[in-house]
Structure 1
Amino acid sequence: MQVYYFYQHPTEQHIFVQKDQNATAEPVFLWIDCTREDVVNRADEWQKEIYQYTQLILNEFHVKDILNLEHPCSFDTLEDYDLLIFRKLITPDDDIKTGAQALEQHEKMFGLATTPVSFIMTPQVLITVREQGNRAVENYISRIEMNFTRSVQEQNKSRKVSTTPLDLALRLLNSIVDGYLDLRVPLTRRVEFWQQELLQGHRRFTKWDQLLQESMSFQQVENLCEEQIDTLQELRDEIVDNYPHLKGKKKSERQDIMLVRMNDLVSHVERIQKHTVRLRASIQAAIDLHFSAIANQTNENMRILAIITAIFAPLTLLTGVYGMNFEFIPGLKSPTGFWSMLIVMLLTTLLLVYYFYRRHLVGRGEKSVIDLLAQQHQDQHVNLFWFLNYQPIKQSVKETMKEVEKLTKFK
């Protein structure tokens, strides 16, 4: 458990943070950062410690929610405090213990694991409960602790210190969500790998179980983003409708700043969600192309087999006819009958191949396809009224129609 005190500077209008209490400065709010080791298996002792610092009594159901490692994202408000549970995706940068050495076992869904970060907010207190090794929160703590080496006047020069518990909570959430944005590049490369595996043609694709798990992982990230957006929207509604954490003469200005931070945070989550949807669509498009290529290859094989069958069908007919067991067959006693039949069969084969080639059934390439599209009007059926397009006949028909019109006028 770590405690950080935020104070108002006595002469200047800025806030500074210290590790220890300062009796000469006006306190603004208190941040108590706890790990799950501080809470698990010692919930009663932890509540007593929280009460000593904040005089705050936590609801027993909220304590159970905090202890629940698999609790979904949620937001709840009471008269004394607000509770926000935000689930964070465990990334490779995190040093959260898993497996047999972990204090609690994470439930992995399709290869992904998430961890909850709980925020308990009052106008003067922020309490966070997280797992040890959460790099997003620990990096922010390290930036705050760098202020301890500076004087009180220099703490707000490089990076302004948070002014309210809500402001600090939103900054922590922003650090958590920004870690997701770094996952876009490796996820995109992963999708490119599956696209290459699906569209390669030298071997058969057999990793369907891994591809299904990969697709469901993207679905899990999308569902997580949807839960986070819903929870943040509830917090935003609370800020707009009834939020007691903003006080003083500049309450409206602070509320506008908090809403800007909230909208920016929601937009980051939406960007991750949209990117995940695009990646899933890319995988689905690669699967469709894979099956389309297989269907096209199958059609090509069937076309080749059909051409071979069509070429050898007349040859089979000829050999069948001359293989009949009759006593008198033309050419049976002829010394050149065998060679004559071979020449006929060879000519039949060449004529069929030439016919199929002219019909663009063999040797089809880009040029032949273009020619096929260009000659589509030439392959139509015979027009029985072709003679009407003959120019002299057209002229005579026009003259006849004029004469008919004159006669009808006289009548």
Structure 2
Amino acid sequence: MTEATTTPAPFRVFHVQPGASAAELDALPLRPPPVGFYWVACTRAALEADLARFQAMVQAVTGLQLVDLHVTDLLSTQLPSHYDYTSQYDLLVMRQLATTNGTAEQPLPRTVRGGPPVLRRIDTSPVGLALFDALLLSVHPADCTVRDAYAERLVAPPPAVAQLLNADQAEEAADTLVCHLNTSPSVAGVGLPGSTADLMLRLINHIVDNYLELRRGLSRQLDHWQVALLNPRGRFNHWSSLMVARLALHHLTEICEDQRSALQAWSGALDGGRMACDSGLAQRELELLKVRSRDVLEHIARVAHHVRRLEQSTEAAVQMHFSVQNNRTNEIMRVLTVLTAVFLPLNLIAGIFGMNFEVLPFVDQDNGFWGALLVMLLIAGGLTVYFWRNRYLARTGR
């Protein structure tokens, strides 16, 4: 194996033999595969820089060429997920839901200057998939982890061979494995895709499942904000970031809907029998493709459901925040109202005895001041006890 480098390879080529093995090639194929099919995974920049070479490769392997409009779709970073086809091949574009180590090639709208850091690392660039009978051409962004992650799984040695102690045992086990593969085709090649369509569905499933990493980071950030929103004594100062996060969640919902629409359109071609007629797929393999496509659709539906749940929980936290603030304001106003009601009769008494009349009762008496003060204290104490017993001054539990 070659050492990993920081710069991704412009393209990787794999020869997949269903029921046998998968091997990585060093150069683009120049003839149809004797058995199995090819998977050519290239970056968008490599396809744009060397389009003629890739078209020649497609011509040599399949006898066909990509339509110019489909080449434009493969090179574009703005297209949503969609499905298109010709009489010779299918084209499927799926936008990613994954996080990147650096800056995303196509970040979510309005997340550059606002929002949590995880939103600025979401890669929404599309992955283009051109599906032929003997070739799957996938076009990825430069820092796409889907290609390399699935490639490692594709060419990984079987566990029984990978754990051997020496070369003699490896050779003996390899011979045994080959004999087993030749005599047991129903068990051979377990884990390897059976066709280009099967490989395409597995790549799409890997793209959708990459949302789990995004979900964890985004869920932690939103949970932190929810705790801050529900703190009645705290002051929440991240309203702009929260609004950006809500817009991003809404955009993620649209991405999931586009993914589901595109894959449903492709699955409709399976149900219509067009692909079985064009590619000569066996009935059992066609049924397996239908099952796998429904499984991928179910994964997309789960992702969309979780995005909507995050959006709803964020909205609920905002509503609860305003409810808590309103409740706190009501408590403050209630206390102030009670204090005003307590001091209102005291102000009345003070106002009466402050009138500029020549004759006022109790003014000329020696203990008039203390008597008036005692009456005022009794009135204030009585009102306070009355309001306390009626729970006007009781604190509500939090």
Larger Rg: 1
Q: CA deviation at 1:358?
A: 3.1
- Map residues 328-407 of structure 1 onto 2, 5 A cutoff: 328-363=359-394
2:79 equivalent in structure 1: 71
1:293 equivalent in structure 2: 324
Q: CA deviation at 1:63?
A: 0.8
TM normalised by structure 1 equals 0.78
Change (3 A) 1:48 1:250: closer
Change (3 A) 1:352 1:172: same
Is the 2:91–2:128 contact (alpha carbons within 8 Å) kept by the matching residues of 1?
yes
Q: Distance in 2 between matches of 1:79 and 1:365?
A: 71
2:47 equivalent in structure 1: 39
2:242 to 199, 203, 211: 211
Q: Distance in 1 between matches of 2:298 and 2:396?
A: 49
Is the 1:107–1:113 contact (alpha carbons within 8 Å) kept by the matching residues of 2?
yes
TM normalised by structure 2 equals 0.80
- Map residues 266-277 of structure 1 onto 2, 5 A cutoff: 266-277=297-308
Q: 2:59 matched to 1:28?
A: no
Q: Distance in 1 between matches of 2:91 and 2:123?
A: 22
Letter in 1 for 2:40: I
**CA-to-partner distance for each residue in 1:294-347, whole Å, 9 max, x for gaps?**
101111111111111111111111111111111111122111111111111111
- Map residues 177-216 of structure 1 onto 2, 5 A cutoff: 177-216=208-247
- Map residues 119-158 of structure 1 onto 2, 5 A cutoff: 119-147=129-157, 153=178
Is the 2:256–2:300 contact (alpha carbons within 8 Å) kept by the matching residues of 1?
yes
Change (3 A) 1:6 1:236: same
Q: Distance in 2 between matches of 1:365 and 1:80?
A: 71
Q: CA deviation at 1:160?
A: 3.3
Q: Distance in 1 between matches of 2:279 and 2:58?
A: 27
Q: CA deviation at 1:117?
A: 1.0
Unaligned runs of 5+ in 2: 1-10, 112-119, 162-173, 182-186
Q: 2:292 matched to 1:282?
A: no
- Map residues 89-104 of structure 1 onto 2, 5 A cutoff: 89-92=97-100, 98=103
Q: CA deviation at 1:240?
A: 0.9
Q: CA deviation at 1:126?
A: 1.3
Partner SS state of residue 358, structure 2 = coil
Q: Distance in 2 between matches of 1:237 and 1:42?
A: 34
2:7 equivalent in structure 1: none
Q: Distance in 2 between matches of 1:77 and 1:171?
A: 20
**CA-to-partner distance for each residue in 1:1-52, whole Å, 9 max, x for gaps?**
33333347xxxxx3433446899x9423222222212212443343233323
**Deviation larger for 265-274 or 106-115:** 106-115
Count of aligned pairs between the two proteins? 352
Q: Distance in 2 between matches of 1:39 and 1:303?
A: 70
Change (3 A) 1:26 1:54: closer
Change (3 A) 1:140 1:285: same
Letter in 1 for 2:335: I
Change (3 A) 1:365 1:127: closer
**CA-to-partner distance for each residue in 1:229-252, whole Å, 9 max, x for gaps?**
111100100111033357899722
1:374 equivalent in structure 2: none
Runs of 4+ deviating beyond 4 Å: 19-23, 147-152, 154-158, 245-250
2:167 equivalent in structure 1: none
Change (3 A) 1:86 1:349: same
**CA-to-partner distance for each residue in 1:77-113, whole Å, 9 max, x for gaps?**
1111110011112314xx5x648xxxxx534423343
Q: 2:21 matched to 1:16?
A: yes
**CA-to-partner distance for each residue in 1:252-305, whole Å, 9 max, x for gaps?**
211111111001101111111111111111111111111111101111111111
Q: CA deviation at 1:54?
A: 2.8
Q: Distance in 2 between matches of 1:86 and 1:41?
A: 22
Q: Percent identity?
A: 30
1:56 equivalent in structure 2: 64
Q: Distance in 2 between matches of 1:108 and 1:362?
A: 50
2:342 to 311, 322, 340: 311
Q: CA deviation at 1:365?
A: 5.7
Q: CA deviation at 1:364?
A: 5.4
Letter in 2 for 1:81: Y
Q: Distance in 2 between matches of 1:280 and 1:183?
A: 14
2:266 to 235, 249, 273: 235
Q: CA deviation at 1:219?
A: 1.4
Q: CA deviation at 1:349?
A: 0.9
Change (3 A) 1:107 1:195: closer
Letter in 1 for 2:35: P
Change (3 A) 1:147 1:359: closer
Change (3 A) 1:204 1:236: same
Q: Distance in 1 between matches of 2:89 and 2:330?
A: 67
Q: Distance in 2 between matches of 1:248 and 1:311?
A: 89
Q: Distance in 2 between matches of 1:357 and 1:98?
A: 60
